[in-house]
Every structure is written in C-alpha cells, then in structure tokens.
Amino acid sequence: MSPPLKLALVGHTNVGKTSLLRTLTRDVEFGEVSPRASTTRHVEGARLSVDGQALLELYDTPGLEDAIALLDYLERLDRPGERLDGPARLARFLEGSEARQRYEQEAKVLRQLLASDAGLYVIDVREPVLAKYRDELAVLTMCGRPLLPVLNFVASASHREGEWREALARLGLHALVAFDSVAPPEDGERRLYESLALLLERSRSQLQRLIEDHEAQRQARRQAGNRLIAELLIDCAACRRSVAAQPVLEQGAISELRDAIRQREQRCVEALLRLYAFRSSDAKAADLPLLDGRWGDDLFNPETLKQLGIKVGGGMAAGAATGVGVDLLVGGITLGAAAALGAVIGGSAQTLRNYGERLKGKLKGQRELTVDDAVLRLLALRQQQLLAALNVRGHAAVDAITLNAPRETLWRQGKLPAPLNVARAHPEWSSLNPGARLEEAERAEQVERLCSDLSMQPVG
C-alpha cells in the first residue's frame, strides 16, 4: 500500500491557505480564517482517506512574511569558493540560529515543504504582482519540490488572474490551477488533482481515486439533498388543518399553519447544511409568502375522487378537478356536497371510515386548510436554490446564504408534480399531522418519484 501523498500549502501571509484547506477537507472548523495577517502560526495537518486508506495529507503552514530579506540572507550563506544548490543552502540555514529567531516562521514553512512531496503555492489574485512574491517563489524552489501555483479568489470581481498567469509563466511555472476557496467551481478539485498528477506521475493512481471519490460523494450529496426536499414537499402537501368556519378561528388556523410550514422548511434547510458540512447559521429560511393558506377542498381532488369510486372526468368530478369544491352555503349545502355525501353512503365501510368523519365535519361547518400550490412551488424552488448554492460553496465562506423568493412567474405558474397531488389525498403522510404514518410503502414510492423529478429539474 502506497504511503499518502504529502502536500504543503505555502505562500504569503493571508492569501487563503487555511481557507483552501477548509474547502478541500470540507471542514469549516479547521484552523482559523481571519482578515488579520499571520493568523496561522504553526503547521497544522489534515488527512483525506478513501475506504479507510489515507491517500493525501495536507499541511497548512504559516505565511511567509519577509521573503525579500530571507532571500538576501540565503544568498550570503555560501562560503568562499562554494556554490551550494538550493537544498544544501536551506539545510545550512535551518541549522543556524536565524532559523530559530528572526526567520522562525519562514523556517517552519521550509521544513514542512522539504518533508512533503510537493507544495501548493497559494496566491491571492486580487493582489498585484509584487517583487516579494517573486522572492517567495525563489526561496521555495530551493526546496527542490514540485510547486503548483493555486490562483485563489478568482471569483472576485477585482481579480488580476491574467497578470499572475503572465508573471508565473515568466518564472517558468506554466502548470497552475485556478481555484476559489469561497466559491469553488464544481470541477475545481478534479482540476487541482489532475494538475498535481502532471507533476507527480507516481501518485497519479492515488489522485485518480480521490477524483472518483469526490465525484461519487458529490452525486450522493445531491441525491440525498433532493430526497430531503422531496420529504419536505410531501409533508407540506399532505398537511391539513380543520377549523370551524368563523373568521377569528380561521385566521388563527392560518397563522398556525404558516408557522408549522416555516419551521418545517427551516428543518429542511438545517438538514441540507448538515449534509454539506456547513454551520446551521450559514443559511436561514426567509418568511414564506403564504397566500392566506389554500382554502380549496382537497377532499375532492382527483386522487380522492378515485378512492371514493367516482370516475374522474365527468359531472361533479370534473368540477372538483378544476377547483369547484364543497363548502357550506347560507341555509344549505352545495350540490357537490350532496353528491359527495351520496357517494360515501353508497361506498364501502373502509371508505366511510376514511372519509365519513371529514364529510361530517364539512356539513357541520368545518373547513379544511391546506398549503397553497404556489407555496409548494416556492418551497421547491427555494430549497433547490439552496442545494445548488451549497454544491458550489467553499467551506471558507463566511457570509450566510440568503434565500429570497424567486421571480413571481417562476413559482406561481405550472402544474404540481404528480406525487404532490397524490399526497394531498393522504394526510397521514405528513409528519405535521397527528397520527402520521410515514413508513407506508406508497408514501416512500411517491417520495422517490418526486426526488427523481427534482433531480431532472435543477435550479441554479
């Protein structure tokens, strides 16, 4: 079994070395990320493994602070008649007192790079190309280890990526990779490891395993995220509240439902954040624009009518399918309510048990409050937007994701996916309802169908 590949993250102070390591390890707690200079004072390591085998060890190092003076000092270490190569010159430096005093931080960096197979030279491309960076590279190349420049913060509007590419080419460094530790591209890690494989041919198989594992995990996270969203939508579509037809009680029920849906969405947000290894404070569900609830009578959606034995497509069923529900009128009941009552009376005992109490409640002046179709669409879009954002969010990001309502046309229009229409007829499928039965095979089947629908309709 091959030993793990050792990489030292090196570079000037405050260029994002710790940020890059957080993103590569998906660990928001690694080290300390701060705009203050010289935040990292000691070498810290992390390990990436696949199936229990350690494939890569990453070492975060302190920032180089005075490379200009250090290079000057190193060039004076040759004795008369000597012409030391880089590693020999560094060995002499590291044995001397200056490595323990004035250049203590730089010595830590050089020792780690000498103990590693290669180095990632991290560059903040928002900074101009200055002489001190050229001197840093001159010092680091004395270690005799392959260096891969990593252009960090390329997603910033003020980046100088072109200038840095030209400067690195003039120094003979043509193999490099653009990466952003705050907003990395989806294929960022793959390109980084592929670039390393060009410099470290003997480690190609290890790096290829990392690439394949990263892709498999990315797909698994996305699928698990879609399943969390599907569970949320099924829960909300099947949720219902029964309330007496009195304005004060109706408004109270609307408020209670709104709070329940909002809390359920927040639980989904938190679950998605855990799935992607982010903090619970990294995103918050904004208030939902519920449209005073959904006052349609779900008792008569096509799925319910089919269970009642009423053929969808004719008479009262066709009216119900287009939004004509059952409701109390002053002094009587609608024709639809009478027809539905007759259907229940003529039905089986099972049908009476399932629907008799709900119809009885309707005839006594009860109304059923459910979630508006538009709100379900909005929930789906918001969570898909969050999922897409998490998929390209680096673990060094500090600003919370804000979830705002998409443009009105995106969530007020279109048909609901079939699994949500089915769920409307099954209040027992919602964890928000008393007596929920969440293990039913049919519910699981509809969750998987909806998960598949979401996977085919990603939202950026």
Q: What tens digit of pLDDT does each residue of 335-355 get?
A: 333 344 444 444 444 444 555
Which tokens is 443 given?
């519910």
pLDDT of 332:
29
Does 73 lie in the same domain as 28?
Answer: yes
Does 333 lie in the same domain as 394?
Answer: yes
**Burial group, residue 72, by CB count within 10 angstroms (0-12, 13-18, 19+):** exposed
Does 288 lie in the same domain as 169?
Answer: no
Does 119 lie in the same domain as 238?
Answer: no
CA distance between the termini of the chain = 41
- The residue from 199, 230, 245 where one domain ends is 199
Segment 257-261 shows an average pLDDT of 83
Check which CATH number belongs to the domain holding 187 and give it.
Answer: 3.40.50.300
- At position 172, the amino acid (one-letter code) is G
Which tokens is 201 given?
């041919």
Q: 116: pLDDT confidence band, cut at 50, 70 and 90?
A: very high
- The strand pair at 328-329 and 283-285 is best described as unpaired
d(CA 154, CA 34): 19
Which residues, listed in sequence order, are joined to residue 49 by a DSSP beta bridge? 54
What does the pLDDT look like over 63-79, one tens digit per residue?
888 889 999 999 998 88
Does 158 lie in the same domain as 242?
Answer: no
pLDDT of 276:
93
- Residue labelled with tokens 């990632």: 120
Report the phi/psi class of residue 294: left, alpha or beta, with left for phi > 0 and alpha for psi in -120 to 50: beta
Residue 320 within a domain? no
Q: 371: pLDDT confidence band, cut at 50, 70 and 90?
A: confident
Please check whether residue 328 is in contact with residue 313, taking contact to mean a CB–CB distance below 8 angstroms.
no
Does 399 lie in the same domain as 290?
Answer: yes
Q: Which of 193-207, 242-256, 437-451 has the lowest mean pLDDT?
A: 242-256
Q: Which residue has the higher pLDDT, 373 or 289?
A: 373
Does 301 lie in the same domain as 444?
Answer: yes
Does 287 lie in the same domain as 164?
Answer: no
Does 194 lie in the same domain as 227?
Answer: no
Residue 214 within a domain? no
Query: What kind and span of H or E run contains 302?
Result: helix 302-308
Residue 438 within a domain? yes
Q: 166: pLDDT confidence band, cut at 50, 70 and 90?
A: very high
Residue 90 within a domain? yes
**Burial group, residue 399, by CB count within 10 angstroms (0-12, 13-18, 19+):** exposed
d(CA 289, CA 43): 49
Q: Which of 364, 402, 28, 378 is nearest to 181 (CA)?
A: 28
> 427 phi and psi, to 5 degrees?
-60, -25
Length of the chain: 460
Does 262 lie in the same domain as 137?
Answer: no
- The residue from 141, 166, 199 where one domain ends is 199
Q: Which of 63-77, 186-200, 374-388, 433-447 has the lowest mean pLDDT?
A: 374-388
- Residue labelled with tokens 């940020």: 19
Domain count along the chain: 2
pLDDT of 186:
82
Q: What percent of the chain has pLDDT over 70?
A: 76
pLDDT of 230:
97
Query: Whole domain around residue 11: which residue ranges?
Result: 5-199
